[in-house]
Structure 1
């Protein structure tokens, strides 16, 4: 691992690109969950992910994982498995834009968890940007409450909120994990742990998908693997609190995909909230002191 200084804006841009790929994957997974159920969509996609992750790990030539890295892989794999099941189950019952808005409690929680667990400094610019972005989410929620047929399923909302809490924990673990393992190794073990946990219920819940669903499963697996690689690299080169603000860009992706794929309308309130969120993220990306004060070890 070679230490070198990198621009915080570069790490932010890579993280935002990873979030974008995850957002496209969310749209594909929502289609799959509606067609074959949350368990089968998650289980069969995870099996494809294991193969893609193994290839990424081999190409990365990172060697054998340390005992510490394995513990982190198991911990994050368990957290993300439950997180994903809750999120995709809720996503099938709630419009994409509303679902993503609800998850924005995660970056706020991640800021606090990173400060407590990792001792990371939460600067004024990042704290202000997070609060401003959360304000944008409130604007969206108010607008949706004034519209028709946008309330969503109560259980779906509860599942997404629970998933958001787990996602905040996942963000903090990702920061520690990225310093202990390469992106390829992280991708493989996260997929492997998820596949093993889901396989425990396979004798009772697994059913073979129809031919058309396999193409979507492969696309979803490729998108999630590429996203994990980008996010693992980004979190190896930037502070959790800073990169957590990149999560807010997912609302823009969700609003566009929800409208284009599922016919979910984007109101003026939604656009106003999205504008606030994007402005807050750009404000956070201008932060300079992270790059000046931190020398991050490259995970390759």
Structure 2
């Protein structure tokens, strides 16, 4: 009796799980530190610039760019600048949102991003979603409405910045997908931070609110460490496991954000934020599940056609 081979599609190595969980701990530290600094009076421009500049320096050191500079060559510089500008916009909007919103609120709205990407992937990438995924997208949007509650005195400027951050990041991800076929991974990592750092330079003289003590300067430097470290951990995770297997792990950040907001800022999300977050997370997980099933179905169809062709031959 032949036992069918078990697919390792969903088998995630423990090391990959640890890398992914650690990634979003680092990203939680990044947002928590950013919120701490802007609440302490440090300019959002300085916070964003430090985050990207330290990131660039760390990438250059750890990837040893001086040995093989060709790895960092940009084939399409204008696309890199546009992509970096989108990340700059996402980061600036996020920092501004953190001034007034809780960490859990900004994260919940940010989690609607994958659904926006799914919707935009049709016209921009030719990856059209079916009605089930569109239903999940609409459900996720309901979750955003539950959190922001426009028309009942809750919706504010912070929510606008959070939505702007999410939208900008969605276009950033789509551009990354399009550019990954023609650009090296090293160039994508480098220019994603270099372009915003350069774009921010002319604005720094007009910014107000420098760090007031050594502790604030230390946190400012650590922003880049958290950002670069998080991206490094993410790369390590994807080297060990498939994208499908790792797709649900970003939602673990919600736990870290709630804990961080509670411990550092003594803020705990209200029930409507928790309900909205649950709707968004459930919708996102359904889209992941649906895309996984479609991928398996397509693979099965291809295998069946190949087997039928082999029998004819």
* Distance in structure 2 (CA, Å) of the matches to 1:293 and 1:20: 35
Match of 2:114 among 99, 107, 123: 107
- Which residue of the partner structure matches residue 169 of structure 2? 167
The residue that corresponds to 1:89 in the other structure is: 96
Residues 94 and 271 (structure 1), Cα distance of their counterparts in 2 relative to 1, 3 Å cut: closer
Name which one, 1 or 2, has greater alpha-carbon Rg.
2
Query: What residue in structure 2 maps to residue 76 of structure 1?
Result: 83
Distance 2:69 2:293 in 1: 31
- In structure 2, the partner of 1:263 is 266
Q: CA deviation at 1:282?
A: 4.0
Q: Distance in 1 between matches of 2:151 and 2:22?
A: 30
Show the 5 A alignment for 1:214-253.
214-229=217-232, 238=243, 249-253=252-256
The root-mean-square deviation of aligned C-alpha atoms, in Å, is 4.0
2:45 corresponds to 1:42? no
Q: Could you say if the C-alpha distance between residues 291 and 213 of structure 1 is closer, same or farther in structure 2, counting changes exceeding 3 Å? A: farther
| Ranges in structure 2 where 5+ consecutive residues have no aligned partner | 1-6, 300-313
Secondary structure in 2 aligned to 1:58? coil
| CA distance in 2: counterparts of 1:21 and 1:291, whole angstroms | 32
Mapped to 2, the partners of 1:174 and 1:8 lie a distance apart of: 25
For residues 190-214 of structure 1, the C-alpha deviation after alignment (integer angstroms, 9 at most, x for no partner) is 2111111111123333775331112
Output the TM-score relative to the length of structure 2. 0.71
In structure 2, the CA distance between the partners of 1:125 and 1:25, relative to structure 1 (3 Å rule), is: farther
Q: Closer, same or farther in 2 for the Cα pair 1:140/1:159, shift >3 Å?
A: closer
Q: Does the 8 Å contact 1:183/1:228 carry over to 2?
A: no
> Residue by residue, what CA displacement relative to the aligned partner does 1:208-246 show, whole Å, maximum 9, x if unpaired?
5331112212322122113334556759x759xx96x87
Q: Distance in 1 between matches of 2:262 and 2:76?
A: 40
Whether the aligned pair in 1 keeps the contact of 2:72 and 2:184 (CA below 8 Å) is no
Distance 2:131 2:230 in 1: 29
Distance in 2 separating the partners of 1:252 and 1:179: 34
In the other structure, the counterpart of 1:52 is 58
Residue of structure 1 aligned with 2:191, choices 186, 189, 192: 189
Which TM-score applies when normalising by structure 1? 0.74
Q: Per the alignment, in what secondary structure is the counterpart of residue 114 of structure 2?
A: helix
